[in-house]
Structure 1
């Protein structure tokens, strides 16, 4: 996906069964999209716990974080409850990986997202992207810096 392009819009269900639409943030907030392979897996649990620990830095009047996996809503609710994840987890379960494919980060062989992050500015444009191998955790400092830069724009 090309930086500067409008981010593909989507509506997905969160861990509480509520529909969340990306374009609803347009004009109000910059958004970090955090694609992660699997709920309850080691690296993903650590990353989501890291976001939870720094949530006051990630969620502001000008910023939002949306974490996306292909796990079903019920698994995301259990993940959220078990690990105290009090931010939005979105299920790209059905049609399986449709949004993940639109962002070009669906691993067809494993049936899950790659470990990827995108930042979308308040106008809905992609301003930053990074992709990591599944065993490697992303840098939350880099993600946060990119999110802050997008919210200032």
Structure 2
């Protein structure tokens, strides 16, 4: 079961594409958009993250930090970030495999991957927006932007 609006966001510390640990707790005081995706280099995921890259100012201008999380190893994430010129951290939930995705209720046990879960965590650590899509179901990012606008209002 995934998280709902109002729930406390589970804390996590994960390595990014450069093996630098990023902790949700360290970002407290600012909203954070947490975007889970199945796999680096896959078609839908690449399209979603490139759209996020192209529209990143809609989030950063509102003071929102963006973190993308998959169960890929850091080496894949480093290559993916470089290839697509992504300007936000790609975090590896590789080991223990999918533990953070499990905590957010977006881990597909049979496939060993994260679902398309999107969570806007407010400055106090509560979920302000939550959406979970199936692996083949691309997300519409307009809902994320509306949630950011409401949070900023």
Contiguous gaps of at least 5 residues in structure 1? none
**Cα deviations by residue, 1:28-79 (Å, 9 ceiling, x for unpaired):** x111110000000000000000011111112236211110000000100000
Contiguous gaps of at least 5 residues in structure 2? none
| Match in the other structure for 2:76 | 75
SS in 1 for 2:8: coil
2: CA distance between counterparts of 1:18 and 1:71?
15
1: CA distance between counterparts of 2:148 and 2:98?
24
| Match in the other structure for 1:19 | 21
Question: In the TM superposition, what is the alpha-carbon distance from 1:148 to its structure 2 partner?
Answer: 3.0
2: CA distance between counterparts of 1:49 and 1:138?
12
- 1:81-100 matches, cutoff 5 A: 81-100=82-101
Normalising by structure 2, what TM-score?
Answer: 0.94
2: CA distance between counterparts of 1:135 and 1:71?
18
Question: In the TM superposition, what is the alpha-carbon distance from 1:24 to its structure 2 partner?
Answer: 1.3
| Match in the other structure for 2:148 | 147
**Structure 1 stretches of 4+ moved >3 Å:** none
